[in-house]
Chains A and B, each alone.
Chain A
Amino acid sequence: MNRFSGMEAELEDHMQHLDEGTIHAWLDQALPPDEAARAEAHVRVCAECAAMVAEARGMIAGASRIVSALDAVPAGVIPRAKPAASQPGSLWRAMRVTPARAALAASLLFAVATMLTVRHDTPDKIVPAVVSRVRVAPAPAPATKPPLPHSPRVAQNKPAAAPPTDSSPPEAVPVTRDAAHSTLGGVARQAAVPRAMQLQSLVGASAPGERRDLAGCYQIARDSVEWLRSIPERFALALTPGRADPEQHVVRAIAADGRMDSVLTQSSWREVGPTLALVTFSLPEGRRVLTVQLAAGGTFSAQSALASGGFVPVRIMQATCAP
């Protein structure tokens, strides 16, 4: 009898849906470890709550953007952060990424997250051929047409058309299905773009107290889709291993003027070429890979995949940024 009631209690606990406040606390990393683990376990099996988590992410990002929009007051009115590089929201101003535009990003995120959840739940039904190796091509030339967005073959095997750029192209790097983080671990080595090298030294020079300053930044970059909106024409990315755990990477996008715009922890970004980047980030539902492609006219497309289930493009989205 006791045993059964124990099991029931466990089952009940397992089935207990998360309330919105708990989800936000979890996403804000404010839950104690045991509760966070419980939330994570529940979200893994509960599509309803997973959808709520995705929605909450959108809310967090959206609210953050709206609050940042308050800072768009006449020049110099809002105080700058000590190092100009870590001024939260600076790039939003620089990029003119307005809440209206960011709202699109938030809904895109929701779509991706939902898709991923669905795919994650029913991999057998939906996932087509599992690709064991993905060859990520070197930097595409600006003149090259991007791959057809709806071609799964292109998406799976060749995220980008890959002729060399004018400058020295990085070497083609194979991305294996089970080695998302080994790929990512190699980012520093693969950053053949001179600009990115420069930025790494910039990152290496960060002050010890920096982590705290970054606390204000992370909401800006909490959902990776924001990156789609935030990449200016001239940008660079830098990656540095986490201090406590080398597996936890910190990815930063730095605008041409040297200002850092955002930080995405537990994730990693790999710049494959001037118009293509690969970002991997950990989310409660599993590690994900997002391929971002930027075309000359400000168009971007993105593919997402669960790395754990093979590099499978689940959706290709296209949107056009305002010029």
Chain B
Amino acid sequence: MKKIAVLLLILLLTGLTGGCWSRRELTEVAIVLGTGVDWMEDGRIRLTVQIARPGAFTAGSEAGARGREPASWVVSAEGRTIQEAERYLAMKVPREIYWGHCIILVLGEEMARKGTGMITNFFQRDRQPRENIWVMVTRGEAKDFLETYSSLEKTSAQAAGFLERMKTGYSVQLWKLAEMLASKGIQPAVTAVEVKEAGITPEPDREKKSPPQKQVGLAGVAVFKEDKLIGWLDPYETRGLLWLKGEAMKGVIIVPSPGEPDKAVSIRIRRGSTKILPEYDGEYLRFMVRIRVEGDMVEQQSREDLAKPEKIKTLESEMADELKKRATAALEKAQNEYGVDIFGFGDAFHRKYKKEWRDLKDRWDEEFSRAEVNIAVEAQIREIGLLTKRAGVPEE
């Protein structure tokens, strides 16, 4: 009997003494939404965090009465390592810095040129930050990027996160960047972003018209060799990269109207797939890339009647050509200008030729630059939308 009583007492005490261990009230944490890292000239790292101001996130009447209060607070600190900078940051932030809901990690251009590996290490090693942080490189300084405002979202970090989630650009999360850094068959590439002028928010009083605001926007792709930034792809080439990789088969292709070449027709890609088929005879390296896409015609500038099988056929071949052109543009830039395989041809080769890969992997980028790549595109138009003819087209 006594034993049981003692046991119960011990159980109770362990519950109470150990109680609330690692408890962290929401009002005691500073929720980081976005992180930026810049390389300073003295060799130190500047860590900038965008911290949510929770008061601005309530939908209640209180917040409404106070007007729209700023939703974020951007603060930075310097240090030799991320962790050191974070500790200096903690001297200014009155709450515990909480990384669990960090949405984006922005690298300043200089930082990216110095190497990303030393930055991503902390975010992978620490328990709080997630693997699915969107990683991006900004043209300019990360601090400036995080200090922007968003007219639509509450904070610019969220805006950038949503832009990435839309897969309009080449969206890369931390885990994927880590994968690309580890693999020899692919070189990393992440979204490039920049601060852009993005519209205005009109006020009823025209005199009070707000000035054009600086907001976040996508700007193509940042190309890396190993973990160092070596160049950029513009938005036009970015699509080519995406199609070659078979990721996010989206986008609009503009082709000339078959009968009136000076007028354009827009085709929106609906879905598609890409297959990379390596061929290697011990000496000569060749890749067959087979891209299959389906699209819908969504816009027509010309006056001709396109709802005819032969015209559709012509459009399809034009679409295939255009797609190939853009893929080739991305490919050529990677092969000739930067000399890095950002497409994962190496991985495809690895999968097919395991033994040969061992010899090639250490000089893969050179091999890739020399390789012949044949792109074959098969395009199909599925729908022509709700109209068959453009309004006002005279009968032929």
Whether A and B are associated in the same complex: the answer reads no
Q: Using a CB–CB distance below 8 Å, which chain B residues touch chain A? A: none
